[in-house]
C-alpha cells in the first residue's frame, strides 16, 4: 500500500486487509475480533502465553516437570473403556523417540489430529511401560511453514472460529515489524527513566514475542502502567474541573440546623453514620460541588445519612432529589422518608414513570415553581420536562445501576448541586479507584444496634422437606418470608421453574395453609404496589418473587428466605437478597437450594454461606470472578481495559493513581509541551465518558 506523504498516524490507520498475512480471506475474521487497523493489531495484546523455554527431546524428558515436545502424529486411537467412557491416544514421533498423549472422556479432541500432522504438546510427562506419556497435555497444531517454536515463549491471542494461533502470530509479527516503529512515545524520556518504564519501541515487541520471562514482565509493566495512568489522569482532571470550574451553594450545618434535623431521627446514630454525616456536612459547606460515594453494607443505615444531606439543603431553602433505579426502591425510600418526616413541614413528592399524565403534570409544575422541597423518584427525574427551581443536592442510589453520565441530565437553575452517590454493594478498593475514582468515599461498616444475625444454609434436594417444616413453623410463630426464583418465564434452556410456576406449586403445596403473594419485575406498577403493601401489612405471609426484591424492600417482620437455584445468582446479588431479612428484632434464616455444576459456582456459594460481611464478600467475589465487567464498564460508558487486571495489578494501580494526581497538581490542564501526547491520549480515550471537554 502506498504510504507516500502520509503521517505516522495515517499509516497506523491502514485497514487490516492491507497487512501482510491477512488478505481477503481473513479480513472478516479480524473484524470479528474488533481489529480494523494496523494500530488495532499492534495493541491486540496476547491473553496468555505458552512457555516453551523448557522444550526437550523425548529421550531427555523428566517426570513431573512441565515440559514441551514437538513432533509428528504417527497414530490416533479412540476407543471405549469398560466403564463406558472414552480414551483417546495419540502417538507422537520425534526423531527416533515416541510419546503417547492420552485424553480420558474427551472424544471431541479426536477432531484436532490428523496423521502426519506437526503438533506441540505441553504437560508433565510420566514414564510407563517403556514409553513416555502425557495425560491431558495442552496441544497446539503447527503449520508446515511455521518455524520451530523451541525454547520460546509464544503469545496466545484471542481468536474467532476459522482463525488459527499460528496465523494470528504471523499477522502480529509482520505488523510489529512494519508498523511498530511508527508509534509515538507517550511519556517524556525522563519520566520513563524515573518510573522504571521501558520505552514503547522496546516494550511492544516483547509484549507480543518475549525473549524471556523477565522481558515479558518489564513490557507488561509498561503497558499496564500506561493504561491505568491514562485512566487516573482522566479521573484527576475530572476532579479538578469539578473543583475549579463548577460552583455549588454553600450549605453549612449550623448547630441549630443540625439539632432540627436530628430531632427527626428517633434512634441513636452509629459511629459510621456520624463520621459520614460529618464528611458530607464539611463538603456541602463549601462552594465546590460535593461528589461523594457513600458505600455501606446491607442495612447499615445509608438512607438516614442521605436524608440528613437532603434536609440540610432544604434547611437552606434549596430542593433535594433522590433517584433510585427501580420503582420498588423509589417507593420504599418514599415510605421511609414519610415515616421519618411525619409532622414535618418539608414538602415532598414521588415521581415515577408510572404516574398518570395529569398528576405528573401537576407535580412537575410544583417542582419547577420550587413548591416541592424533596423529590424522590426513578429515572423519570431526568426526563426532559423535569426542571428544578433551586436544586441543592442530588442523591443517586445504587449508582452502579446507572450510567456515569446520567447524573448530568438533571435540569436545574442556578449553581451546580452537591452530589451524593450511594451503593449497598460494597466495592473492592481497586474498583473504587477506577469506576468511582472521581468521587470522595465515605464507608459505613457498622450496623445499627439491634440488627439480628442471619443464619445461612446451603442445601440439596434431600433437605427440602426438612426446610419447609422449619419455614412453616416460623410462619406459624408470626414471621414472614420470601421465596426467590431466578426466572420470570419458562425456559427450555434452563431447568429452573419460573416464578409463576413456583408460586402456584407452593400455594397449592408446601404453603397452602398460608397467605402467599407473587411479585416480579414485569408486573404493572400498581399491582406491585398492592402486593408490597399487603406484605408489609402482614396480609401476605410469604412473597414468591424474583430478584426485584434485591434492594429496597424493608419489612422488619420478614425473617425467612428460600433462594431457589442459587447457582444462577452472583455473590453480590445473593448478599443483597439476604439483606432483605432480619431487619427487625428477630434472627433471620436463609436457605439456598443449589446444584453448582462448576467449581466457581461452588466456591461462590460456600463463600456466601460462611460470611455475612459484605465488604469481605465483595473482595472474594472479585477474586473469584476476576477483573471482568464487575460493575458494567460498558454501562458506565468507559472503554474496557485492554491489558490491566484490577485484581493482579492493584499495586501498579495505586502507583499510577499517585503519579497522575501529582502530575495534575503540577500541570492542571496538561498544557506543557512535554505532556501534549498524554493529554491527547487521555481525551481520545476518556474525554467523552468523563465529559472532560477541552482540559486546556
pLDDT confidence of 488, banded at 50, 70, 90? low
Q: What is the CATH number of domain 255-285+301-423?
A: 3.40.50.300
Residues 594-629 as b or e (16 or more Cβ within 10 Å = b) = beeeeeebeebbebbbeebebbebbbbbbebbebee
Q: What is the DSSP letter of 508?
A: T
Maximum CA pair distance of the chain? Answer: 94
Are 54-151 and 454-611 equal in CATH topology? no
Helices and strands (DSSP H and E) totals, the chain: 22, 24
Residue 35, all three cell numbers: 481489529
Average pLDDT over residues 225-254: 88
Superfamily of chain region 54-151: Nucleic acid-binding proteins (2.40.50.140)
Q: Is the pLDDT of residue 330 over 80?
A: yes
Residue appearing with cell numbers 461498616: 445
C-alpha grid cell, residue 644: 490491566
- The 10s digit of each residue's pLDDT in 557-584 is 999 999 999 998 888 889 888 988 877 7
**CB distance 73 to 89 below 8 Å:** no
Q: Are strands 67-80 and 86-94 parallel, antiparallel or unpaired?
A: antiparallel
pLDDT, tens digit (0-9, with 9 covering 90-100), for 168-198: 999 999 999 999 999 999 999 999 999 999 9
Least confident of 377-381, 512-516, 592-596: 377-381
Q: Would you give the distance in Å from CA 520 to the centre of its chain?
A: 24
Domain boundaries, the chain: 1-51+167-183, 54-151, 255-285+301-423, 454-611
Q: Are 100 and 131 in contact (CB under 8 A)?
A: yes
DSSP designation for 584? S
Contacts with 483 (C-beta within 8 Å, 6 or more apart), sequence order: 502, 506, 542, 543, 544, 545, 561, 562, 564
C-alpha cell at 627: 477483573
Q: What is the CA radius of gyration of the chain?
A: 30
- How many other C-beta atoms are found inside a 10 Å radius of the C-beta of residue 206? 20
In angstroms, the CA 64 to CA 277 distance is: 60
Quote the pLDDT of residue 633.
Answer: 43
Rounded to whole angstroms, how far apart are CA atoms 352 and 378? Answer: 5
User: Is residue 43 exposed (0-12), middle (13-18) or buried (19+ Cβ within 10 Å)?
Assistant: middle
Is there a contact between 542 and 483 (Cβ–Cβ < 8 Å)? Answer: yes
674-694 pLDDT tens trace: 899 999 999 988 887 777 755
| C-alpha cell at position 661 | 494526581
Q: Dihedral angle at the C-alpha atoms of 239, 240, 243, 247, nearest 10 degrees?
A: -100
C-alpha cell belonging to residue 368:
419547577
547 in Cβ contact with 577 (< 8 Å):
yes
**Residue 561 Cα distances to 424, 464, 519, 542, 550, angstroms:** 19, 13, 15, 9, 12
- Taking a C-beta distance cutoff of 8 angstroms, is the pair 248, 418 a contact? yes
Write out the DSSP string of 667-691. STT--SGGGHHHHHHHHHHHTTTTT
**CA dist., res. 559 & res. 556, Å (int):** 8
- Which CATH architecture fits 454-611? 3-Layer(aba) Sandwich (3.40)
Q: Between these two residues, 368 and 633, which has the higher pLDDT value?
A: 368
Residue 78 near residue 107 (C-beta atoms within 8 A) = yes
Q: What is the pLDDT of residue 491?
A: 53
| pLDDT band with cut points at 50, 70 and 90 for residue 589 | very high
**Matching residue, cell 430531632:** 263
pLDDT value at 318 more than 50: yes
The 10s digit of each residue's pLDDT in 50-66 is 877 777 889 889 998 88
Amino acid at each position: 500500500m502506498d504510504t507516500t506523504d502520509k503521517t505516522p498516524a495515517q499509516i497506523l490507520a491502514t485497514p487490516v486487509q492491507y497487512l501482510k498475512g491477512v488478505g481477503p480471506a481473513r479480513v472478516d475474521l479480524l473484524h470479528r475480533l474488533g481489529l480494523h487497523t494496523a494500530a488495532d493489531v499492534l495493541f491486540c495484546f496476547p491473553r496468555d502465553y505458552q512457555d516453551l523455554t523448557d522444550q526437550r527431546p523425548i529421550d531427555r524428558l523428566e517426570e513431573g516437570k512441565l515440559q514441551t515436545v514437538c513432533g509428528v502424529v504417527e497414530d490416533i486411537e479412540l476407543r471405549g473403556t469398560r466403564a463406558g467412557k472414552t480414551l483417546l491416544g495419540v502417538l507422537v514421533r520425534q526423531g527416533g523417540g515416541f510419546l503417547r498423549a492420552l485424553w480420558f472422556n474427551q472424544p471431541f479432541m479426536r477432531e484436532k489430529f490428523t496423521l502426519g500432522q506437526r503438533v506441540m504438546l505441553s504437560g508433565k510427562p510420566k514414564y510407563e511401560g517403556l514409553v513416555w506419556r502425557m495425560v491431558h497435555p495442552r496441544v497446539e497444531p503447527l503449520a508446515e511453514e511455521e518455524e520451530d517454536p523451541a525454547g520460546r515463549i509464544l503469545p496466545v491471542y484471542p481468536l474467532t472460529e476459522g482463525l488459527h494461533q499460528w496465523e494470528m502470530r504471523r499477522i502480529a509479527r509482520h505488523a510489529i515489524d512494519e508498523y511498530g516503529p511508527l508509534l509515538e512515545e507517550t511519556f517524556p524520556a525522563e519520566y520513563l527513566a524515573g518510573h522504571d518504564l521501558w520505552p514503547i519501541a522496546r516494550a511492544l515487541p516483547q509484549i507480543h514475542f518475549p525473549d524471556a520471562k523477565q522481558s515479558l514482565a518489564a513490557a507488561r509493566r509498561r503497558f499496564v502502567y500506561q493504561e491505568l495512568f491514562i485512566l487516573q489522569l482522566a479521573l484527576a482532571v475530572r476532579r479538578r474541573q469539578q473543583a475549579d470550574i463548577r460552583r455549588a451553594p454553600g450549605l453549612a450545618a449550623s448547630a441549630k440546623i443540625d439539632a432540627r434535623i436530628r430531632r427527626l431521627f428517633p434512634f441513636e446514630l452509629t459511629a459510621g453514620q456520624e463520621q459520614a454525616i460529618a464528611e458530607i456536612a464539611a463538603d456541602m459547606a463549601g462552594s465546590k460541588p460535593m461528589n461523594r460515594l457513600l458505600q455501606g453494607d446491607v442495612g447499615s443505615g445509608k438512607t438516614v445519612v442521605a436524608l440528613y444531606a437532603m434536609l440540610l439543603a432544604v434547611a437552606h431553602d434549596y430542593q433535594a432529589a433522590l433517584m433510585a433505579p427501580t420503582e420498588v426502591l423509589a417507593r420504599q425510600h418514599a415510605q421511609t422518608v414519610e415515616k421519618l418526616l411525619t409532622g414535618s413541614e418539608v414538602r415532598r413528592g414521588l415521581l415515577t414513570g408510572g404516574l398518570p399524565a395529569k398528576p405528573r403534570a401537576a407535580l412537575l409544575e410544583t417542582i419547577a415553581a420550587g413548591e416541592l422541597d424533596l423529590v424522590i423518584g426513578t429515572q423519570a427525574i431526568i426526563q426532559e420536562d423535569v426542571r428544578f427551581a433551586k436544586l441543592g443536592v442530588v442523591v443517586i442510589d445504587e449508582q452502579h445501576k446507572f450510567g456515569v453520565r446520567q447524573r448530568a441530565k438533571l435540569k436545574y437553575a442556578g449553581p451546580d448541586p452537591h452530589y451524593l452517590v450511594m451503593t449497598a454493594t460494597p466495592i473492592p478498593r481497586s474498583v473504587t479507584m477506577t469506576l468511582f475514582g472521581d468521587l470522595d468515599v465515605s464507608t459505613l461498616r457498622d450496623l445499627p444496634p439491634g440488627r439480628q444475625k442471619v443464619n445461612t444454609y446451603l442445601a440439596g434436594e434431600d433437605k427440602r422437606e426438612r426446610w419447609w417444616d422449619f419455614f412453616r413453623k416460623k410462619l406459624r410463630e408470626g414471621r414472614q418470608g420470601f421465596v426467590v426464583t431466578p426466572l420470570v418465564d419458562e425456559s427450555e434452556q434452563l431447568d429452573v421453574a419460573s416464578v409463576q410456576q413456583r408460586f402456584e406449586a407452593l400455594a397449592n403445596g408446601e404453603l397452602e395453609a398460608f397467605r402467599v403473594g407473587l411479585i416480579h419485575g414485569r408486573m404493572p406498577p400498581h399491582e406491585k404496589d398492592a402486593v408490597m403493601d399487603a406484605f408489609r401489612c402482614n396480609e401476605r405471609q410469604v412473597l414468591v418473587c424474583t430478584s426485584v426484591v434485591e434492594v429496597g424492600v424493608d419489612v422488619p417482620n420478614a425473617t425467612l428466605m428460600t433462594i431457589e437455584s442459587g447457582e444462577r445468582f452472583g455473590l453480590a446479588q445473593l448478599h443483597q437478597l439476604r439483606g432483605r431479612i432480619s431487619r427487625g428484632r428477630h434472627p433471620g434464616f436463609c436457605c439456598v437450594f443449589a446444584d453448582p455444576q462448576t467449581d466457581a459456582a461452588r466456591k461462590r456459594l460456600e463463600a456466601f454461606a460462611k460470611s455475612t460481611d459484605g465488604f469481605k464478600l465483595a473482595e472474594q467475589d472479585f477474586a473469584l470472578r476476576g477483573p471482568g465487567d464487575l460493575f458494567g464498564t460498558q454501562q458506565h460508558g468507559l472503554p474496557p481495559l485492554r491489558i490491566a487486571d484490577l485484581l493482579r495489578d492493584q499495586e501498579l494501580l495505586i502507583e499510577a493513581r499517585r503519579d497522575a494526581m501529582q502530575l495534575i497538581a503540577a500541570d492542571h490542564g496538561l498544557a506543557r509541551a512535554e505532556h501534549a501526547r498524554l493529554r491527547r491520549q487521555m481525551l481520545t480515550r476518556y474525554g467523552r465518558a468523563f465529559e472532560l471537554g477541552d482540559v486546556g
